[in-house]
Structure 1
Amino acid sequence: MSKITGPFVAIVTPFDASEAVDVEALRAQVRRQAKAGNGIFVAGTNGEFYALSFEEKVLVAKTCVEAAGNDVPVLAHIGEISTHQTIALGKAIQKLGVKAVSAITPSFIACSQAELVDHYRKVADALEVPVYLYNIPARTGNTIEPETARILADHPNIIGIKDSAGSQESIDGFLAVARDRDDFDVLVGPDSLILHGLKNGAAGCISGLGNVSPVTLNAIHANYVKGDVAKAEEAQTRFSALRKDLYAFGFPPALVKRALRHAMPAVGASRAPVLITEEVDAKVKAISAANAEAID
């Protein structure tokens, strides 16, 4: 398999007024990101995977693969609390044509590093599609340590890690693992650390904020790859400022979706129990308007 690189967007899952998945609105978002040159990451945190049923996760993956066609690659998140259910979802998703899958650590259960190694080995053994580890301890309560990633990197079907721990220290720990081998890559999760990751060997990124500003996201990666670091830094500065302004108001995925909704109402609201006050909504609307991006 060719190496997976570039910017990916953790695509939002649009809902209609009854909170059902809006397939046509999802198709429109995929086409929008593909036009900007960004790959698609399905049913991640910004896709509200925690609020989707098994069947809905399959539906959104199928929709995204079909909408993306051969234009951009599609990755899918399959992480569940149990190893059994993660494998079951992965087996359903891998039939759809995704390039790879990723899985967060089990949540609710406090896992030892040995249990995480066992979990990911079983998932990778059971699937034919390549697997990324996915580290997001603030949401799961479990952290993948760099040494654990190093152990798991020896598995032939584990090709890298998406790190969303939020710190440069965490990213750097996994980048050190990746530098020692050519079959394990890092995808940067924190929007403020994309360029730092690229400068230090990351293969790409998976961004939630790219839903709002897909052109700026793409500019970070595209300019860095072509050697224009100054322009890449300018784009990263804009992206980081947007992140700081928007995420100051609460749960980032809900704020990303609300900002996008102001520009493209068809994406709908986040599923309950998420609520955004009128005061916050007014501020998000202003941020959305100030960061609107046209895609040629």
Structure 2
Amino acid sequence: MTKEAFVALVTCFNDDETLNLDATRAQVRRQVDAGNNIMCAGTNGDFTALTYDEKVTLTEAVVDEVAGRARVIVNAGMPATFETVKLAREFDRIGVDGIAVITPFFIACTQDGLVRHFSTVADTVETPVYLYDIPARTQNHIEPETARQLSAHGNIAGIKDSGGAQDTLEAYLKVGQEVGDFAVYSGPDHLVHWSLQNGAAGCISGLGNVMPHVLAAIIRAFNAGDQAEAARQQGIFGDFRKDLYGLGYPPALVKRALYLMDNSVGASRQPALLPDPAQDAQIAEILKRYALI
């Protein structure tokens, strides 16, 4: 099976924190030209800082800019099933390739509650739904057996694992292998090549915002059967990840690194961390080390 990479695209803002759709479209073109697909309104896209209407407007712009040249997945997940369903229906109308649903946040959920949540969303749309697990941010975790149960739903197509634990990813991959038509996408950027070798359908990467061509090169080499080149590119990707993420919260650092490369992307909405000149200097030094500026 041909593997694929999605980039969890940053959302671009103007100085007054309004959406900058022109800059966002430019980032879409940059990723598609590199050979990557798009996930919008995810963790790296500041989805928790976006209003309902902005998510719809953003998705319409991304789909329009992609114009069929790549696949688009959009995150509809919200704490309540009610709003998640409303968003998912809008994305269904727009015509995306997949609807990701992050686990509810703030609300503590049982595994039965998660089954009801995801099943209700999948029941109400025609677009394939992808589970999205990131327990460090939401405090809710999709157990592998719950993923197995949900895989039987005719409109739940797979899962994005952003937990960061290799054993959990292995468990999801086992579900995918045994079920047969349940796609597993790796979120941790240091496990892209490993996950492909172990049956993942692909990856959904935040770091790809900064290194789109390296991410695409891992996928391209793997699909060509050149494991040595895939491993070499993964080494670059992993080293950069370690250097950049060693400075703090990954999504904020990805956005800031991209800002230092192209300030049209803008800063993150408050109350995200304010720009720090000392940290910016550290980020810039890392970018120079990898010939990104």
State TM-score, norm by structure 2: 0.97
1:207 aligns with 2:205: yes
The answer as to 2:184 corresponding to 1:186 is: yes
1:1-296 matched pairs, under 5 angstroms? 5-275=3-273, 276-292=275-291
Q: CA deviation at 1:79?
A: 0.3
How far residue 293 of structure 1 moved from its aligned partner, in angstroms, is 5.2
Supply the distance in 1 between the matched residues of 2:3 and 2:66 (Cα, whole angstroms).
16
Which deviates further from its counterpart, 156-165 or 112-121?
Answer: 112-121
Aligned pair count? 292
2 CA distance for matches of 1:292 and 1:122? 47
1:4/1:228 CA distance change after superposition, 3 Å: closer
Q: Distance in 2 between matches of 1:292 and 1:33?
A: 18
Residues 1:5 and 1:102: Cα distance change in structure 2 (over 3 Å): farther
Q: CA deviation at 1:14?
A: 0.5
SS at 1:92's partner residue? helix
Q: Distance in 1 between matches of 2:92 and 2:236?
A: 36
Q: Decide whether aligned partners of structure 1 residues 161 and 46 sit closer, same or farther in structure 2, where only a CA change above 3 A counts.
A: same
The amino acid across from 2:134 in the alignment is I
Letter in 1 for 2:154: P
How far the C-alpha of 1:4 sits from its partner, in A, is 8.9
**Alpha-carbon distance in 1 for matches of 2:260, 2:178:** 44
Paired residue type of 1:18? D
SS at match of 1:46: helix
- Counterpart of 1:244 in 2: which secondary structure? helix
Identity %: 48
Stretches of structure 2 lacking an aligned partner (at least 5 in a row)? none
User: Quick one: distance in 1 between partners of 2:191 and 2:183?
Assistant: 16
d(CA) in 2 for partners of 1:214, 1:292: 13
TM-score normalised according to structure 1 size: 0.96
- Are the counterparts in 2 of residues 223 and 231 from structure 1 also a CA contact under 8 Å? yes
